[in-house]
């Protein structure tokens, strides 16, 4: 009979529990070193199943154990805690709980992408941390200026060349001057690190058809596209767009009991915060660009305000990305000139040489083409508004069919 083996992994060792036709029992522990884990893996039977929570070193342990057993499952730590309801929290108890849940086929697994997806996730996480640190450093400088009653800098970028000249000319106490100078040095270092990560991200994104397809959506840049690809992985593992929305935490909480109607609350915010952040940032840009997304944002903002409209557009972008990735199609209302500029920025970030100055046979910036594409986008926006108007008329006529195009023609 196949055994179910639970491992509670920590930095130094893994607590082992075995369920063999009955309640799980503790079976000692094994050091979390490659050589010790290999010896432990060789002692397992080919039909054994192993489970461990998806923590920092879980994937490395799973790689060592996988060739020697039938299956290695990485469990969703938060959902395991919700299922087990264990009153005692020790390593031995956790290992036994994992083994019992695996024997009962109650383990909620996590999806593990391929090596490229995991590398993109690490790059995205590193970049997000650097951006947060850069924001903290800039806030420190702003706090120094506020404490010393210094006005707003005359430059649009306080940390650019003109802004730094202005900062150097300000009279500050010795300790405050030390803080500002140290902050500027940190910004230089963080900027160089961000540039290197952006180069690596651009190299990985070049030639990726999914990234290129997401770039056809207004508001989506290279950082947004790569973050979504890193978080989502294979979009086809989500049968519907609703499941992807829930995976990214863009769906509202629902409370319902008995015959009472369902009550919807704030966003669940489960899943990747990085994906939600880039989608909301893209939503603000998409809401300002002519097209159906602009009309949708204006319609929601009129009822609920701009903040709610931005989140609604972010959810709409999530659904749109699922459709594009699963169907292998580009955005129907894409503006080719803008897509070409995004792709050119991607090439430059990856290290491509800049073109020589002067007239180009096929310039990236073309004012006439931009004007024509903008007019087409505005036509698509008006078509969406007419579609919504028709839909409202049909909804108002409950039980009766509405004449197609009646609202579009302005008839009453």
Note the pLDDT tens digit of each residue in 179-216: 999 999 999 999 999 999 999 999 999 989 999 999 99
Residue 356: predicted pLDDT: 74
Last residue of a domain, one of 104, 138, 158: 104
CA distances from 230 to 122, 212, 225 (A): 9, 14, 9
What distance, in Å, lies between the first and last C-alpha atoms of the chain? 74
**Residues 343, 313 share a domain:** yes
d(CA 346, CA 178): 38
**Residues 192, 323 share a domain:** no
**Residues 373, 272 share a domain:** yes
**What is the pLDDT confidence band of residue 256, given thresholds at 50, 70 and 90?**
confident
**Residues 221, 159 share a domain:** no
Residue 411: predicted pLDDT: 41
Mean pLDDT is highest, among 378-382, 390-394, 408-412, for 378-382
**What is the pLDDT confidence band of residue 404, given thresholds at 50, 70 and 90?**
low
Residue 293: predicted pLDDT: 94
d(CA 372, CA 249): 38
d(CA 76, CA 206): 32
Domain count, the chain: 3
Residue 357 placed within a domain: no
User: SS3 for 31?
Assistant: strand
Whole-prediction pTM: 0.86
**Residues 292, 199 share a domain:** no
**What is the pLDDT confidence band of residue 392, given thresholds at 50, 70 and 90?**
confident
d(CA 196, CA 113): 24
Residue 81: predicted pLDDT: 78
Partnered with residue 18 across adjacent β-strands are 5, 25
**Residues 282, 303 share a domain:** yes
**Residues 374, 291 share a domain:** yes
For residue 223 the two structure tokens come to 């950082």
Last residue of a domain, one of 44, 73, 104: 104
Residue 65 placed within a domain: yes
Of how many residues is the chain composed? 412
**Residues 123, 73 share a domain:** no
Last residue of a domain, one of 67, 82, 104: 104
Residue 282 placed within a domain: yes
Averaged pLDDT of the chain: 89
Average confidence (pLDDT) over 55-67: 92
Residue 122 placed within a domain: yes
d(CA 290, CA 1): 63
The domain that holds 77 is classified in CATH as 3.30.420.40
Residue 2: predicted pLDDT: 85
Closest CA to 283 of 303, 300, 270: 300
The number of helix segments (H) and strand segments (E) in the chain equals 15, 7
How are beta strands 4-9 and 49-53 bridged, if at all?
Answer: parallel
Judge whether residue 369 has pLDDT over 90: no
**What is the pLDDT confidence band of residue 13, given thresholds at 50, 70 and 90?**
very high
Judge whether residue 400 has pLDDT over 80: no
The range of the structural domain enclosing residue 140 comes to 115-205
- Edge-to-edge, what's the strand order for the sheet holding 49-53? 25-31, 13-19, 4-9, 49-53, 71-75
Q: Which residue has the higher pLDDT, 323 or 367?
A: 323
**Residues 229, 142 share a domain:** no
**Residues 312, 183 share a domain:** no
Q: pLDDT (tens digit, 9 = 90+) per residue, 268-318? A: 888 899 999 999 999 999 999 999 999 999 999 999 999 999 999 999 999
**Residues 221, 343 share a domain:** yes
Residue 368: predicted pLDDT: 79
**Residues 123, 100 share a domain:** no
CA distances from 157 to 57, 151, 332, 371 (A): 42, 14, 37, 30
């Amino acid at each position: 009979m196949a055994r179910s083996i639970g491992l509670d992994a920590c930095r130094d060792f893994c607590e082992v529990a075995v369920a063999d036709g009955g309640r799980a029992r503790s079976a000692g522990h094994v050091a979390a070193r490659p050589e010790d884990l290999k010896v432990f893996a060789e002692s397992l039977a080919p039909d054994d199943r192993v489970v461990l929570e998806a923590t920092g070193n879980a994937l490395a342990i799973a790689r060592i154990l996988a060739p020697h057993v039938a299956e290695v499952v990485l469990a969703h730590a938060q959902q395991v805690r919700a299922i087990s309801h264990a009153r005692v929290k020790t390593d031995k108890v956790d290992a036994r709980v994992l083994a019992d849940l695996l024997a009962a086929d109650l383990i909620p697994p996590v999806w593990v992408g391929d090596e490229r997806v995991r590398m993109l996730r690490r790059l995205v996480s590193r970049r997000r941390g650097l951006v947060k640190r850069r924001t903290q450093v800039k806030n420190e400088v702003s706090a120094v200026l506020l404490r010393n009653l210094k006005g707003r800098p005359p430059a649009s970028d306080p940390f650019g060349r003109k802004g730094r000249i202005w900062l150097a000319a300000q009279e500050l106490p010795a300790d405050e001057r030390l803080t500002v100078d140290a902050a500027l040095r940190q910004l230089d270092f963080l900027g160089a690190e961000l540039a290197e990560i952006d180069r690596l991200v651009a190299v990985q994104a070049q030639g990726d058809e999914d990234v290129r397809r997401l770039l056809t959506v207004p508001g989506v840049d290279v950082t947004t596209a790569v973050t979504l690809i890193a978080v989502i992985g294979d979009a086809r593992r989500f049968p519907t767009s609703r499941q992807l929305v829930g995976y990214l935490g863009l769906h509202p909480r629902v409370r319902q009991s008995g015959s009472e109607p369902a009550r919807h609350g704030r966003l669940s915010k489960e899943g990747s915060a990085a994906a939600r952040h880039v989608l909301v940032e893209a939503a603000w840009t998409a809401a300002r660009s002519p097209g159906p997304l602009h009309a949708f944002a204006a319609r929601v903002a009129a009822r609920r305000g701009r903040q709610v409209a931005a989140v609604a557009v972010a959810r709409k972008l999530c659904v749109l990305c699922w459709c594009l990735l699963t169907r292998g199609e580009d955005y129907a209302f894409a503006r080719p000139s803008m897509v070409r500029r995004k792709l050119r920025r991607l090439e430059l970030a990856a290290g491509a040489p800049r073109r020589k100055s002067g007239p180009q046979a096929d310039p990236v910036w073309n004012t006439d083409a931009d004007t024509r594409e903008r007019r087409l986008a505005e036509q698509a926006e008006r078509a969406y508004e007419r579609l919504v108007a028709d839909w409202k008329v049909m909804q108002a006529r409950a039980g009766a069919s509405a004449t197609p195009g009646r609202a579009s023609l302005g008839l009453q």
